[in-house]
Structures are given as structure tokens and as C-alpha cells.
Chain A
Amino acid sequence: MRLIHHTKNYTLTGEQKVTVQVKDKKINKINNKKSHVEIEPLNEEEFLIKGEKKSHVGEIVSLKQNEVSVMINGNTYTFTIDTEIASKRKAKLSKKAGPKVEKVNAPLPGEIVVALVGEGAEVHKGEPVMILEAMKMQNEITSPINGKVKSIHVKAEETVMKDQLLFEIEPLK
């Protein structure tokens, strides 16, 4: 039995990285420190997370494959959970694959006011590519990287949903 260990290390990747060691299906260490966190359900949605210093009330927003979102104190935390082996493998594979085309999705539902540049245009990181109007606010959707606009998937006056693909930016070679 090579895979079924009694302790297993996981990496949780989100805004910040957290490592968790699981022993006998229970959380044993967090960030290499012995964990004393206890979790108990409060009701159908909420959990009481008893930490060393403080207790928090949290809830699970979504769980899909190995992506988990939780909410605590009005803040959302989204993690991708990988086993140690898988995260090492991914690091190796992503090194091989090189820079990726960046897909930019609508951060919120709204209406496209205008695309400021066309396909093929070169844009700098942070430069606005289109304007999305929602809640009477015009929001600039900017390029995440220096690159070239590979494709634009929406047009002016189109209503878009949250997370709908707006455009793709190809890194400059």
C-alpha cells in the first residue's frame, strides 16, 4: 500500500498558501504547527471553529472537486486543495507549460458599455480593455498582464453574467 498513508500533507492555495497535515482523517497540523482547531456544526449552514485564541463562525459557500470556498466574518476564502504529491507534480508541469493565455471574466453582472481596444491590440498590465456598467457604476476591466488582445467575446450593450468570459490576453513572446 503505497498511497494510503495515515498522514497526508495538503497544500491549500488561495490568496495565501496554507499547508495542512491530516492524520487518520483528522487535521493534525496547520502551517507546520500542531492544530488545536475544533469544528462543530452550529446549524444547517454554520460551523463554530474553535481556534486557539478565538472562535469564529463560518460557513461553506461552495465545494467543487478540490475547490472550496468558505466565509468567515463576512470575508470569503477560496482554496484549491492538493495533496503534496499533486502540488509538486503541478509545479513541475506548469514550469514546463510556460506562460498561459489569461482569460478575463466579468467580475460582476452588468452591461458592456464599450470595448476600448480591438483584437490584436497590445495592452499593458492594468490598462483598461473594456467598460462594464453595473449598479450605475462604470467599471474598467483591465488587462492582467502585458500582452496582446487575443480575442474579445462580448460586444457593446451586451448583458453579461458574473464570471462570463469577456476577453483573452496573450502574453508577449
Chain B
Amino acid sequence: MKDNRIPFKRFHERNEKLEDQYDETYFSKQHAKGKLTARERIEYLMDEGSFREIDAFVKPAGMPNEEKFGDGVIVGYGTINGRQVFLYAQDFSFMGGSLGTVHARKIIKVQEMALKMGHPIIGLIDSGGARIQEGVASLAGYAGIFMQNVKSSGVIPQISVILGPAAGGAVYSPALTDFKFMTRDTSYMFVTGPDVVKEVLNEDTTFEELGGAEVHASQSGVADLIYSDEEHTLMGVKKLLSYLPSNNVENPPVTSVENAASSKIEKLSMLLPDDPNKPYDIVEVIKLISDKDSFYEIAENHAQNIVIGMARLNNQVVGIVANQPKVMAGTLDINASKKAARFVRFCDSFNIPILVLEDVPGFMPGKSQEHNAIIMHGAKLLYAFAEATVPKITVILRKAYGGAYIVMNSKNMGGDFNFAWPTAEVAVMGPEGAVKILNRKELLSAKDPEELKRKLIADYKENVANPYVADEKGYIDEVIDPSETRDIIINAFALLENKVEQNPQRKHGNMPL
């Protein structure tokens, strides 16, 4: 029933006016582009009826006669599966979702609230960029958003969902957040668009080629997760949230599934090919070790030689970093190092324990890697593991050679538990390479060099490239039966529940960026 007393009359009128703003044309304009409206996106993402909009009635700066409210962005709070989140959703239907000062102020307001109250913030981005009419003021608006992004970094999870264009300055807010979602075919991110590229470089390119979801998910690694349409993208956000704590003080949420182990766990010991140089899919190993259907892979199309993602072990969230032998034999290169380093730091920020599954023949050799600073990028992963104080466990499945062995959370880099399968080969380098260096002279003068090489390699495997040497020297805590891996690491993480480790007080470390 409508309350017709005077003070309430205006209240209702105003609300009705706001509702009227979202008429048929509002929806049809976005739908024609193959996109949902900001309103629909919020409805889809949030628990039914839980969203409260704030600052709904503001008007754009310098446009007091503007009929429409909101200045092209809806901001507010609500719940997702019962958990509080803050949200802003840019509305492309109003001046192309362009960012004016009021628009920016609204975003900054929810950013501040989210940080103060310790809840995740989600940005649904669909904007043509800075509002040209407002000039430098709109640029300043971006700066304000970036400042909040950085302040919130490592305190509350920040998630950017790119559902339309994000161009120019607009790309840097997502870049500063923890996770970037994109939707195939309808979302783009680039610093300069195809027109400018054509003008400056005389290169023909399309939106899709330059900054589509596909490109950012595979080539640049900017997009962490991509989906085929908006509904599934928003579902993905919900799914990711279920693995994240609300802030850096809390632990990640726990589920209560009984008997979550995969029914095919005994398959684990059969997954590794008999030939140590043959590839296999590490994701299958991850799926068998972790709780049934719990593995959620992140950035799966970028730097595929390393696999990262969230999973649950006995209902507790863990972050998984695993070499992928089926892509480039699992070698670490620049992109893989960056991808893993970023993920390790995220996990450490938000109290997510880390499980490393290692099968790595080394760092990628070659001019292009060296010239593009694999030294610095590889160091990022080293830094990230060394700095992380959350529980860290490593299981060596097969190869663990040289520098790459050190990097992948080795005992002396602070691994809390370091296990190895009997198939592990821990050494400075692989048998073939080692034999060539160690026995160069013998091999040159041998009557039958092939036969001698074969023997030397067998000797090397027997005496060096196995888990037992490292185990006997304490660099590995225990050599374990693969089929017991899950139980052993669940127990180890339980032991580590109370682990507290502190890095020295400082403003911040100087990470090799």
C-alpha cells in the first residue's frame, strides 16, 4: 500500500521516476548490441532483492537539466550467496557509460565503503572512457579510482568484470584489481583503439584482434577468466567468490561436503607415463588430489605451461600452482613466472594456503627469453614464494631440475612440507645434459659412445636423478606413495593451520618488477 502522507508522496514519486528511466528502450538498446543492461546484470549477480542502490538520484556535473538520474553508473551493496559485497555497474545506455566526475565520485564512494567495512568489491565495466565534455576533471576521477584500487589491494578482493568496452585510462582500474573477467565477442580492453593504431602506426586491426577477450585470455594474460556470454561470466564471478575470504583478516570460506575425495583416486599413480620424457596433463592430477569438482582454473589459456587455480582439500580452500608437462614440457618462461608469481602473492594476501605440484625441467633457454629479462621475471616467482607466509607445500611428481627446482617452493625457499613421489628426479639438470657435461672426454674417446652414454645415463639416474638423494639429505621431507598424496597433504595443511610467520617490518619490499 502506498502511503499518501505528504512526506512520503515525494519519496514515491522520485522512486517511480527512477523506475520509469528503465523502460523498454533502455533494455532494447543494449540487447540489440548483444549485451545485457546494467540493471539486468545486477539482478543476475546478486541474491534476489538484496541489492540496495545508493546515490541513485545524482545528476551529471554541469547538466542540472538532465532528465536521467545516476550519471551512467549504478552503485550499491547487496549479498551474493548471503555474503556482503559492494558493487558498481557502468551503464552504457547513458552517455556511453562515460566517466564524469559524479560518476567517478560514486564509484570511489563504494570503494571506500568496501575497504572500510572489509567486503569484496565488484566492478561491472561497460564504458566508452573518460567523458570528453568534462575534461581534466574526469581524468582526475580516474585517478581517484586508481588510488582506491591500490589502497584496497591485498585488503579486500577486487574483481573487475569487463562486459563492454574499457578503453584508455579505464583499463588501469581493472589492471590494479585482483581478477579480470571478460566476455567473448562483446568485451574489449585496450589503451589505444584501432582508429588511433591506424593513424599512428598505419596498421589495420579490429577491436577483437587488438583487445578482445580471446586475445587477453591467451596472449596478454590480462583477462584471468573468460566466458562465452554475460550470464556465464557473472556465474563465474559467483563461483570465484566462493573461494575468497571477504578481506585479508578472514580465512577463506569452508564448505561442508562429506567424503569429497574423488572416487578414482587410485588412478593417481597410473597417470604418469612410463617414459619420463612423455607429457601428461597435470590438471588430471589436480582433479584427483583435490575435492571432487572443486578445481577452478584461472588464466587457463595464458602461459599454459603453468597451471594455477583454486581448489578445495577436505573443504578448505587452497591455491594450486602446478607445472604443466603437456605444454612446453612444463618449462618455466617469462609468462609462466609472471602468472604464477601474481597468483602466489594473491593467495598470500588473502590467507589461502599454497600447494605446488612440481614437474619442471628448468627455465626456458634462448635469446628471446634472456633479452626480455627472464632473469627479472623468474625472480618475481622466487620473490613471491619467499615472501609468502601462508602454509606452503610442494609435491615433486617428476622433474625438479636446477634453478626451476629452487624456485618452485623448495625446502630452502621456505616450503613447510616438501614431498616427492618415487618418480621424482631432483638434480641440477636432466640425465642427458648432465652426462654430456660430466663425461665429455670419455664420450669423445669411447669406442661405442651411444652405449657408454646409455650406461652413464642409467648410472646418473641410479645415483643422482631420483628423490632419494634429496630425501637422505633432508631437502625432501618424505618420499610418498602417489595414491596417499591427498591424505598426506590434507594432514599437513591441518598441521599448518596455526602457522604464523612474519617478515621484517618495512614499508614494503622492493620486488623485482
Contacts and interface: CB of A to CB of B under 8 A. Distances in A.
A85 B37 CA distance: 13
B186 A161 contact: no
Contact of B231 (A1, A83, A161): A83
Contacts of B231: 83, 85-86
Given A63-B293, A161-B326, 13 more contacts: A3-B43, A3-B44, A65-B232, A65-B236, A66-B227, A66-B228, A85-B231, A86-B228, A93-B34, A93-B185, A93-B186, A159-B277, A161-B281
A45 B263 contact: yes
Contact of B185 (A1, A44, A90, A109): A90
Interface string B219-236: 000000001111110001
A3 B228 contact: no
A72 B393 CA distance: 39
Contacts of A90: 34, 185, 228-229
Nearest to B259: A44
B40 A164 contact: no
Interface residues of B, number: 26
Interface of B: 27, 31, 34, 39-40, 43-44, 48, 185-186, 208, 227-232, 236, 263, 277-279, 281, 293, 326-327
A65 B277 CA distance: 32
Contact of A161 (B27, B227, B236, B279): B279
B240 to A, nearest CB: 13
A90 B44 CA distance: 19
A133 to B, nearest CB: 14
A44 B263 CA distance: 7
A18 B216 CA distance: 32
A159 B278 contact: yes
Nearest to B239: A65
Interface of A: 1-4, 44-45, 63, 65-66, 80, 82-83, 85-86, 89-90, 92-93, 97, 109, 159, 161, 164
Contact of A89 (B27, B48, B229, B327): B229
Scoring B34, B43, B231 by chain A CB atoms within 10 A of each residue's CB, the highest score goes to B34
Contacts of B208: 97
Nearest to A83: B231
A3 B232 CA distance: 14
Contacts of B43: 1-4
25 contacts: A1-B48, A2-B27, A2-B40, A2-B43, A3-B40, A65-B227, A65-B228, A65-B236, A66-B228, A66-B229, A66-B232, A85-B231, A86-B228, A86-B230, A86-B232, A89-B31, A89-B34, A90-B228, A90-B229, A93-B186, A97-B185, A97-B208, A159-B277, A159-B278, A161-B327
Scoring B39, B43, B236, B326 by chain A CB atoms within 10 A of each residue's CB, the highest score goes to B326
B91 to A, nearest CB: 15
A44 B258 CA distance: 13
Contacts of B230: 86
B22 to A, nearest CB: 9
A85 B34 CA distance: 9
B344 to A, nearest CB: 24
For the complex of A and B, the 6 pairs showing the least CB-CB separation, nearest first, are: A44-B263, A89-B34, A86-B229, A161-B326, A93-B185, A93-B34
A33 B270 CA distance: 45
A63 B229 CA distance: 16
Nearest to B22: A2
Contacts of B34: 89-90, 92-93
A160 to B, nearest CB: 8
Given A93-B186, A161-B279, A161-B281, A82 B229 contact: yes
B44 A164 contact: no
